[in-house]
Amino acid sequence: MDRSAPQITSFHPPRRVLMGPGPSDVPARVLQAMALPTVGHLDPAFSGMMEELKTLLRWAFQTKNELTFPVSAPGSVGMETCFVNLVEPGDTVIVCVNGVFGGRQAENVRRCGGTPVIVEDEWGAPVDPDKVRKAFQAHPQARILAFVHAETSTGALSDAATLAQIAREHDALTIMDCVTSLGGVPVLLDEWGIDAAYSGSQKCLSSTPGLSPVSFGERAVAKLKARKHPVQSWFQDLNLVLGYWSGAGKRTYHHTAPVNPLYGLHESLVMLAEEGLEASWARHRAMHEMLRDSLATMGIEFVVRPDARLPQLNAVRIPAGVDDAAVRAALLSDYGLEIGAGLGALAGKVWRIGVMGYGARVENIRLCTAALRDVLG
Ligand code: PLP
């Protein structure tokens, strides 16, 4: 093997304005927090920060759930953490699929040895509660309902309160994906009666990618404790992870936590707390409306009906005759602006314009609409 070192120097990323489906723009304050000195992950000072992080996350999720913490991995692992801990071989799980991420939930159920009952809705439509009611009637043995609150692949927002209510009526737990919703629209775990939820650091929280806040309520913990089979993933087994995320003083080694990214998440949540949840939701809505009005003057149409539109993820139809990839490439090279391509069934048909977290600002909306107007001619 050649021992001469590769001639590679430091990486200098270009400056971008991130208006795709995530990651979103990360504010300097969060990046600066991540550049602070690394301490040991069992250092008492770090433990104090972890306790604050749990408090901030409980507030962001609007829950009193003791078991609330960030999984040391991206949103997909938060998703798996919910499924591997709550689904046992033989379980029937009703899974709502109205886009890419509902499909991934169904795949998680299969890989846990469960049987997914798919409730399908058109891509771009919210989950239809009546179909969920019918699925429970047809499959009374189902004990879990899983759905995606904010489908990032389509921009549709589903009615989480109603879905959780239906699950309760059938004595089932709910697993909710709120990767894209947390911080951008109301996410009210306790008020809605959600049993398990997972999110991501890189969307409306505007931290860097790679952390997944999760929260589990008492009913979910009871199901976990009553399992007949051990959780098949060692890393994600909550019984073990908890030894690390339990209160300061009781903390024992499980894995080496991503120390500096956790500083960043802490700072992003401090910024959210300074602004206030309701103010953040209102800002996302106002910026969405500004974008919507500008796009309307260009004749660009939305995929999702108005009452189910996510303010933070605007899926719009690519105008006829327009070269999707060429437009996105021109936005990136001429304006340093990233918007998202369509995903799955909507690939090549839509653009996904993210108005998330720190990116939900007037200057970003102005840049995006001016750049699109210019590039589209
Ligand atoms: N769920 C939804 C709704 C998402 O939008 C995403 C990422 O875009 C994920 C799950 C997976 O998160 P990650 O890419 O951080 O693994």
Task: Tell me how far apart the terminal alpha carbons of the chain are, to the nearest angstrom.
Answer: 54
Indicate whether residue 80 lines ligand 1 (CB < 6 A): no
Q: Binding residue per annotation — 219?
A: no
Q: Specify the DSSP element, H or E, that contains 274.
A: helix 259-275
Question: 309 forms bridges with which residues in the sheet?
Answer: 156
Query: With a threshold of 0.95, does the pTM exceed it?
Result: yes
Q: How many helices (H) and strands (E) does the chain have?
A: 13, 13
* Helix, strand, coil share (%) of the chain residues, nearest 5: 45, 15, 40
Indicate whether residue 108 lines ligand 1 (CB < 6 A): no
Nearest-atom number in ligand 1 for the CA of 77 is 16
Q: For atom 12 of ligand 1, which residue has the closest CA?
A: 75
Q: What is the CA(182)–ligand 1 centre distance, in A?
A: 12
Each residue's pLDDT expressed in tens, for the chain with a length of 377 residues: 999 999 999 999 999 999 999 999 999 999 999 999 999 988 999 999 999 999 999 999 999 999 999 999 999 999 999 999 999 999 999 999 999 999 999 999 999 999 999 999 999 999 999 999 999 999 999 999 999 999 999 999 999 999 999 999 999 999 999 999 999 999 999 999 999 999 999 999 999 999 999 999 999 999 999 999 999 999 999 988 877 777 667 788 889 999 999 999 999 999 999 999 999 999 999 999 999 999 999 999 999 999 999 999 999 999 999 999 999 999 999 999 999 999 988 999 999 999 999 999 999 999 999 999 999 98
Q: For atom 5 of ligand 1, which residue has the closest CA?
A: 152
Q: What is the CA(75)–ligand 1 centre distance, in A?
A: 5
Mutate to test the pocket of ligand 1, among 175, 179, 185 (most ligand atoms within 8 A of CB): 179
- Find out whether 201 and 62 touch, Cβ atoms under 8 Å: no
- Find out whether 158 and 148 touch, Cβ atoms under 8 Å: yes
The pLDDT value recorded for residue 252 is 84
Distance CA 331, CA 269 (A): 30
DSSP label of 166: H
Indicate whether residue 312 lines ligand 1 (CB < 6 A): no
DSSP label of 306: G
The pLDDT value recorded for residue 243 is 75
